[in-house]
Amino acid sequence: MKRFFKPVEKEGSSKKPSLSQPEKEEDVSLSNENKGEPSKFMTWNANSFLLRVKNNWPEFTKLVTSFDPDVIAIQEVRMPAAGLRGAPKNPGELKDDTNSSREEKQILMRALSSPPFANYRVWWSLADSKYAGTALIVKKCFQPKKIFFNLDRIASKHEPDGRVILAEFDTFRLLNTYAPNNGWKEEENSFPRRRKWDKRILEFVLQSSDKPLIWCGDLNVSHEEIDVSHPEFYSAAKQNGYVPPNKEDCGQPGFTLAERRRFGTILKEGKLIDAYRFLHKEKDMECGFSWSGNPIGKYRGKRMRIDYFIVSEQLKDRITACEMHGQGIELEGFYGSDHCPVTLELSQACPNSKQDEVSM
């Protein structure tokens, strides 16, 4: 979620991870080594995956080693898709047709070939430039049956800016999304774009009710007042004094009444549960937010919960833990990003029941 500041790190500096291995050929078929279904998940808006690898990788690696997730969903990869200038791009592959892009790709792939990531496989959905993009990193013993990169489940099609990766497992679907920012104005890439996105998400969840859903990522919305540190501040926020004509569009992107109501409709009509709020009913000013504003300036200490695990009601009784791993206004546990990782743990499904059977 890019709102108020950009990382100050230089992309050409810092230590590079070592231990290179060749990349695996793209293949989404079910692995013979599968050991049931994933039950431990992590989502993180990295705010440039390359910068995190260069500058924060040892600390993030410790978290991954400790939590041992089966699936890691990344947003804001911010690596360009493969393809020559002026030619069609391949959003599923990292750009490597220049010396600089080749070096950057090697840095990422070295990191993802080193422990503990050598036990995982990665899928990319990338924008044409260093903007947006998502990645899905799955343990090799839990490989999905199918992977899609769009909400329409059309083979080979990627959403604009690489905002979606959908993994189909035996008993559930996992949707990793980087929702577009609402913006401040009634412009093409602001309010209308977000309205269209929310409409498509609602259509997707309603059309996907045949199997439980785990929806995670940077959803760029704080549902209730409890989900922001300073509700009055965010409700009154303006950009350059501009006030939208529709009162419901006023305020901080991600905390307007219009966005929050649409998100509530998606949850209600899709019969979905906010896993974190299901377990944590009270406001937590220390560890209850996933995004934090710039520690310098008027957004210091201003925080929002915009990164989620949303699950189908059928999975509600299996939620054992959902935690945010950052705390405080100094961004401890954010690993260089302006977002902290969020994790979800589910208990194992009863072997005598089929999770994909929807109760009527």
Can you say which residues are annotated as belonging to the binding site for Mg(2+)?
47, 76, 218, 220, 338-339
Total count of residues recorded for the chain: 360
CA distance 254 to 326: 20
Count of CA atoms in the C-beta half-sphere (13 A) of 9: 19
| Residue numbers belonging to the annotated binding site | 47, 76, 218, 220, 338-339
- Beta bridge partners of residue 178, listed in sequence order: 218
* Spatial separation of the C-alpha atoms in residues 10 and 356, rounded to whole Å: 47
* Token pair listed for 245: 């004509």
Judge whether 307 counts as a catalytic residue: no
Sign for the CA dihedral angle at 224, 226, 228, 231 comes to: positive
d(CA 160, CA 149): 10
* Catalytic residue, candidates 128, 158, 161, 178: 178
Residues 6+ apart with CB under 8 A from 49: 74, 76, 77, 78, 79, 108, 135
218 is catalytic: yes
Q: Is the peptide bond before 116 cis (omega within 30 degrees of 0)?
A: yes
> Could you say which of 128, 218, 249, 274 is catalytic?
218
Q: How far apart are CA 223 and CA 303, in angstroms?
A: 13
Reading phi first (left if > 0) and then psi (alpha if -120 to 50, else beta), residue 104 is in alpha
Instruction: Answer yes or no: 299 catalytic.
Output: no
55/10 Cα distance (integer angstroms): 10
The residues that are catalytic are 178, 218, 339
